[in-house]
Amino acid sequence: MKHTARIAALALTASLATAWAAEGGATKDDAVAMVKKGTAYVKSAGKDKAYAEFSDKASANWHKSDLYLVVYGLDGTVHAHGANVKMVGKNLIDLKDIDGKPFVKERVEMAKSQASFWQDYKFTNPENKKIEPKSMYCEKLDDTVVCGGIYK
């Protein structure tokens, strides 16, 4: 009986994830692909051009429903922000999520020791304006960390 309940729960979870993706919610694969595309673009087009495009909400190349790119310097300064251009230039090293997690500090510390990683925290979903659990995929690029995340 317990085994059947577990299988049913897994099937429901998988179907909900599929339904979310079908409704336009980004997937983990989408996040990884966008970050890889973004890091390649920074290398080919240069930081100034890439960061401006990442921060432009009208740019279809760098936004997919709730998925967008952010770039932080390893000191916590925002270089690009696909959901809120007003954050660009601000140092957010001390920013905490609703649970008190210093996610920017944690992110840059992780980038100092890992070439790529996933990070979990809570953040406002730009699609519905609700605070939701978020998983952020990040890759270190020189003295920055390029990230794109999905809402769970």
The kind and range of the H/E element at 121 are: strand 116-124
Which stretches within 46-128 are classed as H helix? 47-55, 103-113
Q: Which residue has the higher pLDDT, 129 or 80?
A: 80
Report pLDDT digits (tens) over 75-115.
999 999 999 999 999 999 999 999 999 999 999 999 999 99
pTM of the model: 0.82
Q: Domains, the chain, ranges and CATH?
A: 25-151 (3.30.450.20)
CA distance 75 to 41: 22
Quick one: what percent of the chain has pLDDT higher than 70? 84
Q: To 10 degrees, the CA torsion angle through 84, 28, 73, 114? A: 170
